Amino acid sequence: MIISIPLKNGFYNRMGSVVFTDLAQAFTEPVRGVLAYTRVTADCRQNDYNVIEKDYNFGSNAAYYVSLGANLNQTRLYLAVYGSTKVAESNQGTVFEIVP
C-alpha cells in the first residue's frame, strides 16, 4: 500500500533539479529525515538546497527517510519512511508517494 503525502509549500518545478533525502536530520526529537532539492549548475559547484515540507504527521515516532526514486516519466516521487535504523526490526516502514 502506498500512502500519498501532500506538500505544505506546494509542488515545485523539478525540471533541472536533483531531489535527495537525508536519513535523519541532526538534533531533532523525534528523529525526522529530510526531503530536499537543489538545482544543477553548469560549473558543478556546490549549490544551496531547499527543504521540501511535507504535510503529514508522523506522531511521536521516528521517521528515517530513504529515497526510492521516481516513475519513468519523473512525475511521481516515492519515499520510504522507517521507524528504526535496525534492519532486524520488521514491519517498521511505509512507502509514500509525494504528490503536489
Report the distance separating Cα 35 and Cα 53, nearest Å.
Answer: 8
Residue 63 near residue 83, CB atoms below 8 Å:
yes
Give the model's pLDDT for residue 10: 53
What is the count of structural domains for the chain?
1
Give the model's pLDDT for residue 9: 56
Kindly tell me the sign of the dihedral angle through the C-alpha atoms of 41, 9, 63, 69: negative
Bridge partners of residue 39, in order along the sequence: 17
Range of the domain at 40: 2-99
Give the model's pLDDT for residue 12: 52
How confident is the prediction along the chain (100 residues), in pLDDT tens digits per residue?
A: 456 655 655 555 556 677 788 888 878 888 888 888 888 778 877 888 888 877 788 888 888 988 888 888 777 788 888 988 887 888 888 888 876 6
Give the model's pLDDT for residue 49: 83
